[in-house]
Amino acid sequence: MNAIATPTSGPAKLARVTAITSGKGGVGKTLVAANLAAALTRLGERVLVLDADLGLANLDVVLNLSSKCTLHDVFTGKVNLLDAVLPAPGGFSVVLAGSGMLEYSRMTPEVRDKLLDAVQQLRPRFDHILLDTGAGISDVVLYTVSLADEVLIVATPEPTSLADAYATVKVLATTQPARRMRLLVNQVQRASEGRAVRTQLQQVVDRFVNPGLPQPVQLELVGEVPLDPSVREAVQKRQLLLESLPGSEAAKSLALAAGRLIAET
C-alpha cells in the first residue's frame, strides 16, 4: 500500500502544520496526536504525524509500528524522506523518529535544516501535519514548534502540568511569532474541568504575558478528554483508542476535538 498521498493537481495546497506540545512529559501527548490523526482521517483529511520527539521517541510504541525507514535514516542520508512515510493503523501516515536519534537531542544547524526540509517536502502532500514534539522546553522542542502554523498544548489538571503548560505558553509567546494557540485538557475528572484549566491559564497569561505582546495570546479550548480506563486498555493493547474502543467517552471526546481543530480555519 502506498501511504503517500499524491499532490492534488493545480496550485498545491499546503498542509496545515500543528505542533503538539505540553511542557510536561507523560500527559498523553503522543496518544492525543495519534488519536486526533485517526479522527481527522475519518473527517476526510489526509493526515501525517511526524514524530519530532528526537530524544525519546515513542510514537512507534503507541501505534505498534516498527520500520527500517525512519527520520533518523533520512537524516543520515540512508533513505529518502518519502520512503519513511508509513501507513498507520488509523488510515493516516506517520514518519517515525527511529532509534539513534540521540545525536539530535540538541539542535544543531544541520538538524534544523533537515527538519525544516522534511516538513517542507511533506506539506504539499497532506491536508494536516501533526508534529509530535518531545517533553520539556528544549531548543529542539522550541524549534519544532516554530515550524508549525499553530500550536496545540496538551495539559492535564495536575498542578505540575499546569505550571509547565503555562511556561510553554509564556516562552512561545515571548520568543516566537504570534500564532493560534489551542489547548486540549486530558484526564479531566469532572465535566468542564477543561474549561476551568483554560480560564485559569488565560487569567495568568492576561496578567503576566499579554501586557508585553503586540498581539495578545488567547488560548482556545479544543476539547477535554475524560480520565477513562479505556485509554489505559487501548495503550496496553498498543491500539488506537478510536479503533479499539470507539464508543468510549475518551474516544468520543477526541473525535469531537478533531472536529473543532479543523472547524473554523
Partner 1 sequence: MNSSRQPVPHTAPQGLQLESALALLRQAGQGEPDAPTGSPAWLQAVIDRLVDLSSRDPLTGLSNRRFFELSLAREVDRVARSGESALVLMVDIDHFKRVNDSFGHAAGDLVIQAVGQALADTVRPMDLVARIGGEEFAVMMPNCPAAFGPQVADRVRHRVARSPVTLQDGRQISVTVSVGGAFAPQWVRSTPSLWMQRADLQLYRAKNSGRDRVCLEPSFMPQVSAEEKGLLFSSSTWQDLE
Among 79, 167, 227, 262, binds partner 1 (CB under 8 A): 167
Kindly state whether residue 120 participates in binding partner 1, applying the rule CB under 8 A: no
Kindly state whether residue 170 participates in binding partner 1, applying the rule CB under 8 A: yes
* C-beta closer to partner 1: residue 53 or 127: 53
Kindly state whether residue 61 participates in binding partner 1, applying the rule CB under 8 A: no
Site for partner 1 in 219-258 (CB under 8 A): none
Kindly state whether residue 105 participates in binding partner 1, applying the rule CB under 8 A: yes
> Interacting stretch for partner 1, rule CB under 8 A, among 89-97, 98-106, 124-132, 250-258?
98-106
Tell me the CA distances in angstroms from 17 to 94, 202, 227, one per residue in order: 14, 24, 27
Q: Are 98 and 68 in contact (CB under 8 A)?
A: no
Q: Least CB distance from residue 200 to partner 1, whole Å?
A: 5
* C-beta closer to partner 1: residue 90 or 136: 136
Kindly state whether residue 159 participates in binding partner 1, applying the rule CB under 8 A: yes
Q: Distance (Å, rounded) from C-alpha 51 to C-alpha 27?
A: 16
Kindly state whether residue 28 participates in binding partner 1, applying the rule CB under 8 A: no
Among 83, 139, 150, 243, binds partner 1 (CB under 8 A): 139
Among 8, 199, 215, 218, binds partner 1 (CB under 8 A): 199
Strand partners, 155: 185
* C-beta closer to partner 1: residue 155 or 261: 155
Cell numbers for 72, please give them: 533518523
Kindly state whether residue 158 participates in binding partner 1, applying the rule CB under 8 A: no
Among 66, 200, 215, 218, binds partner 1 (CB under 8 A): 200
* C-beta closer to partner 1: residue 102 or 213: 102
Cell numbers for 246, please give them: 470507539
Q: Distance (Å, rounded) from C-alpha 211 to C-alpha 78?
A: 48
> Interacting stretch for partner 1, rule CB under 8 A, among 43-51, 90-98, 136-144, 146-154?
136-144
Binding residues (CB under 8 A) for partner 1: these are 25, 55-56, 102-103, 105-106, 134-139, 142, 159, 162-163, 166-167, 170-171, 190, 192-193, 196, 199-201, 203-204, 207-208
